[in-house]
Homo-oligomer: A and B are copies of this chain.
Amino acid sequence: MMRIEFRHLRTIQAIHETGGLARAAEQLNMTQSALSHQIKGIEDQVGVALFARRTKPLKLSAAGIKLLRAAESILPQVAALEAEFEGLISGKSGRMHIAIECHACFEWLLPVLEAFRKAWPEVDVDIRPGLAFDALPALRREDIDLVVSSDPEEAAQADFTPLFDYEPVLLASSQNPLAEKAFISPDDLRDQTLITYPVERTRLDAFTEFLTPAKVEPAAIRQVELTAVILMLVASNRGVAVLPDWVVRQVQYNADYVARPLTQHGITRRLYAATRHEDTQRPFVAHLIRLAKQEAVRMQRVG
């Protein structure tokens, strides 16, 4: 059982254009006989005559005209699709869905994406919230294409490209007694309210790098979504927070805060872009990572 196929649409269009089987056949690189068989094929299948047969230069019948109209509407759609695929192959277009484990990174990432969109207008860019946890498996299964993370995992078959180093620092109101100290020790937080983003402890530098190793628990924990709100709460001395130095630096003009290193010599963390191995070298992926690094440098200078 033969159905209408693209071949038939191309054939009917070619016959109409050239006004004859033989010429159409030439245009399609086939024999005239093939086209004759082909037409007979669909006519038998759909049960209507596509051409007026009494006339010699074959002429479209009413049904044939309907088919031609369909061809004229459908074939360009397919051509457009193939052009899109062409873009995917040549690397001009693609998808760049990003997950950020580092909660504060949102503000840094936005200008990066803005620049990226200008350079790669055909790439479909998005930040996927909600999968900050389990981002690496999602990366592997192609739910997303890039993860901003500070925990490179050997196991995950992904490339971790370093973006920039930062220092998690303690941010406290200048009214807070801790403002007196030159640096902060874990014990200093026993009687403090710690304000964090609403994510697991294992994703928070304050715990993974500082409190948990020292087995110290703060007096209270308060979870807040927005960086701006955290800063407000700290300013009014309702708690202290651990944030990347560059976040702090961007608000330091405000005298209500003080920033202090964690431990005597401070802690240094490194942020990575995790990508699937086969993607890392793709032009627009590499470009996004480059832009991200540049933005990081610019950001460090703000201080």
Residues of A within 8 A of B (CB): 3-6, 46-48, 52, 54-55, 59, 61-63, 66-67, 70, 73-74, 77-78, 81-82, 84-85, 88-89, 94-95, 124, 140-142
Which residues of B lie under 8 Å from residue A59 when comparing CB positions? 141-142
Give 30 pairs: A residue, B residue, CB < 8 Å, sorted on A: A3-B6, A4-B6, A4-B78, A4-B82, A5-B6, A6-B6, A46-B82, A47-B85, A48-B89, A52-B141, A52-B142, A54-B141, A54-B142, A55-B141, A55-B142, A59-B142, A61-B142, A62-B88, A62-B94, A63-B84, A63-B88, A66-B84, A66-B85, A67-B81, A70-B77, A70-B78, A70-B81, A74-B74, A74-B77, A74-B78
Which residues of B lie under 8 Å from residue A85 when comparing CB positions? 46-48, 63, 66
Which residues of B lie under 8 Å from residue A63 when comparing CB positions? 84-85, 88
Which residues of B lie under 8 Å from residue A46 when comparing CB positions? 82, 85
Interface secondary structure of A, over-half rule: helix
Which residues of B lie under 8 Å from residue A81 when comparing CB positions? 4, 66-67, 70
Of residues A46, A48, A59, A62, which shows the largest number of chain B Cβ atoms within 10 Å of its Cβ?
A62
Which residues of B lie under 8 Å from residue A54 when comparing CB positions? 140-142
A42 to B: closest C-beta gap in Å? 10
B62, B78, B95, B141: which contacts A124 (Cβ < 8 A)? B62
Which residues of B lie under 8 Å from residue A3 when comparing CB positions? 6
Which residues of B lie under 8 Å from residue A84 when comparing CB positions? 63, 66
Given contacts A59-B141, A59-B142, A62-B95, contact A47 B78 (CB under 8 A): no
CA gap between A94 and B66 in the complex, in Å: 11
Given contacts A5-B6, A85-B48, contact A73 B66 (CB under 8 A): no
A226 to B: closest C-beta gap in Å? 31
A75 to B: closest C-beta gap in Å? 10
B66, B77, B88: which contacts A48 (Cβ < 8 A)? B88
CA gap between A51 and B250 in the complex, in Å: 43
Residue of B nearest to A10 (CB): B3
A76 to B: closest C-beta gap in Å? 11
Given contacts A4-B81, A48-B88, 9 further A-B contacts (CB under 8 A): A5-B5, A48-B89, A52-B141, A59-B141, A62-B95, A66-B81, A67-B81, A73-B77, A74-B74
Which residues of B lie under 8 Å from residue A140 when comparing CB positions? 54
A178 to B: closest C-beta gap in Å? 48
A47 to B: closest C-beta gap in Å? 5
